Chains A and B, each alone.
Chain A
């Protein structure tokens, strides 16, 4: 059989695949140079392409540095994100430890319930928490607490998934050995289980934080003016007043995303090493 047509096909698929990666990652890098645009537009100009220094400026980063609303949004994003992460990580880790029990009753159903926030359409989460938290005897609409609880709920499934995955490689006989040496449940958890699963816990926590940090629909529906987060502020920026300040924020968020990614990868390689049998 003539291998040449197959080569050609392989080449075509290769090019298609490369285009796929370009399609996925390319758009992000368009934003970065535009955030240094000296003009208040979203478009490249000739001067920028020939790298004239005058066409570039830090003015949008300057605006960002001076604008109180963006400061508040930054504060809110971190405050809500960190609080939500603490709740999600604590509850999620405990649940994952429980689900790892060999005789856990109704494991599949419970897992489906715990993962459900991840697959419920976000618009429905937003609508229902808005209505529910607005009822008079709850009154959590437009409060930090309401947003933190909702974001913790959205982030918890990620912790459950990542910690369960780490626990799958966890050797239960270690726990039995410790128990037979007289360690109580808490000591066993703290001294043996936690150190081993900590990379999974931290990865889950990062996922939970990123979920909260990126979430905009719930904030849009339920958050008040005081609780505006970065994505919420970007949302109004895109809709109401279009200028490159948004692109400056976007560039900073991309850098942040890359940092988070490398942390996760580093943690994963650590887990992989730890779980290897000596």
Chain B
């Protein structure tokens, strides 16, 4: 056996042992990329330093089939999951998650108890709200030298604002934006979508620009398409556009009018192998300082009132973060809060309908 062979064998053994035997730890499953980096810098390191519990951070794409398989097979390996929207409620319904009432959520820095520091609807049966993010319309200002788009209707106005549009290939938030772009008031959007006429109106609104739409699937795509000038406007997630603006100096602008604001939450898996550590982790993550820590790396707003006030400057560029947060009241324009309940009820039907509409 020669030297390099033994060396690589030793390397394999080290690798395998380091994966097989972990010490006091908690497995956190979250969305990867720049969001994960923001969480690591924002509070994971502080958590590890304070508690000595090692965080195994894994990334996934928001789909909970693996979790369901783990719980049903009785072989759970995940502890904490960063989940959003209908997936969270669905998993809670299926009994895959621990209820959060056994958590002892910390009060705000100036002593406001947790239940008064969270906006209504952000603490649910199984989820602790962590941050707000928004589905917004972003555009490349150089494409519109004369007059820039300013209201959500402009996204659907190809004549005045020519160019192709990037749209998420998913009815969630897209149908809402389609209705607002057709002049429906945010407060009436979900009532409209509960009726057949409203759903038809949403699809009719999208149909007006259908031949100009480039569909995207991964959040990394819309900034790329804007940068390549493949599209002139894009429905995108505000954090991704923010990163392109801040870190890659892209001149993109966000049109805050017609935004759809959704909550990302932390959940604890039923029968989590490290249940005690998972609780400690979620309690730590729900501190106002932790939430503000994430918001100093990526433009996702703390859910807690006290967290929003703590937000300062961007950790890399030193620019103030508040103007970039989706919940900043200074944005003006129309804002819609994503209705999770509506989507849990109607998602399957609307996805089928959306798929059917796409193929026509």
Contacts and interface: CB of A to CB of B under 8 A. Distances in A.
Q: Do chains A and B touch in the complex (CB under 8 A)?
A: yes
A225 B66 CA distance: 9
A136 B69 contact: no
B15 A71 contact: yes
Interface string B23-36: 00000010011000
A224 B32 contact: no
B204 interface: no
A221 B69 CA distance: 10
Interface in A133-156: 133-136, 138-143
B93 interface: no
Given A75-B12, A79-B16, A141 B75 contact: yes
B70 to A, nearest CB: 6
Interface string B71-109: 011110110000000000000000000000000000000
Interface stretch (B55-63, B293-301, B309-317, B328-336): B55-63
Contacts of A226: 19, 77
B19 A142 contact: no
B217 interface: yes
A72 B19 CA distance: 9
Contact of A141 (B29, B73, B218): B73
B73 A139 contact: yes
Contacts of B77: 142, 224-226
Given A72-B19, A240-B32, A142 B75 contact: yes
A79 B15 CA distance: 11
A169 B73 CA distance: 48
B60 A138 contact: no
Given A225-B58, A240-B61, A142 B16 contact: no
Contacts of B60: 225
A87 B69 CA distance: 26
A236 B70 contact: no
A1 B217 CA distance: 60
Given A134-B73, A239-B218, A240-B218, A142 B32 contact: no
Contacts of A75: 12, 15-16, 19
B224 interface: yes
B224 A242 contact: yes
Interface residues of A, number: 26
A141 B65 CA distance: 11
Contacts of B33: 240-241
A158 interface: no
Interface in B9-24: 12, 15-16, 19
Interface string A112-137: 00000000000000000010011110
Nearest to A75: B15
Given A225-B58, A240-B61, A130 B69 contact: yes
Contacts of B69: 130, 134, 141-142, 222
A163 to B, nearest CB: 28
A222 B65 CA distance: 9
Contacts of B72: 134-136
Nearest to A40: B248
Interface string A226-247: 1000000000100111100000
A133 B59 CA distance: 23
A242 B61 CA distance: 15
Contacts of A133: 73
Given A136-B73, A239-B217, A224 B19 contact: no
Contacts of A221: 65
Given A79-B16, A142-B66, A142-B70, A242 B75 contact: no
B33 to A, nearest CB: 5
Contacts of A241: 32-33, 220
A236 B61 contact: yes
A242 B221 CA distance: 8
Contacts of B74: 136, 139
Nearest to A143: B75
Interface in A47-105: 71-72, 75, 78-79
A171 to B, nearest CB: 37
Nearest to B34: A241
26 contacts: A71-B15, A75-B15, A79-B16, A130-B65, A130-B69, A134-B68, A134-B73, A139-B73, A141-B70, A141-B73, A142-B70, A221-B65, A222-B69, A224-B70, A224-B77, A225-B59, A225-B77, A226-B19, A236-B32, A236-B61, A239-B61, A240-B33, A240-B219, A241-B33, A241-B220, A242-B221
Interface of A: 71-72, 75, 78-79, 130, 133-136, 138-143, 221-222, 224-226, 236, 239-242
